[in-house]
Structure 1
Amino acid sequence: MTIKLTLELASGQSLKGAPLELLADGVPIARAIVDNQGQAAFDVNPEAAQLSVRVDRSILKTC
């Protein structure tokens, strides 16, 4: 199964190149990198779990 996301920040900052992790019940099961259009895709096996996405925000610049 492929899970596709489009990410957009209200501040207008780009998330291009941001590392993402897909978590199943709090455990990382897949990784992806945000592309030029703000999109990322995770290829995973279907399973019953609470899914969430974590982004490494340390790469974002602050003003």
Structure 2
Amino acid sequence: MTIKVKLELASGQSLKGAPLELLSKGLPIARGVVDAQGVVVFEAKAGAVELAVRVDRSILKAG
């Protein structure tokens, strides 16, 4: 199943290149990267589950 998400920040900032994760029951089931138009596409198995999206924490720098 293909899931497309369009992201728009209230600040008008771009999320281009940001890695995102699609979560099911708190666990990542797919990953995608935001394009220049603010769209990210996830490929995941079809099913009746509650989904969430978060920024892939690997982009966060420590310290």
TM-score of the aligned structures, taking structure 1 as reference length: 0.84
Aligned counterpart, 1:13: 13
Residue type of the partner of 2:44? Answer: V
TM-score of the aligned structures, taking structure 2 as reference length: 0.84
Q: Which runs of 4+ in 1 moved over 4 A?
A: none
Q: Which runs of 5+ in 2 are unaligned?
A: none
1:48 Cα deviation from its structure 2 partner: 2.2
Residue type of the partner of 2:26? Answer: G
CA RMSD of aligned residues (A): 1.7
Q: Which runs of 5+ in 1 are unaligned?
A: none
Percent of matched pairs sharing the same residue: 67
Structure 1 residues 1-63: aligned runs within 5 Å? 1-56=1-56
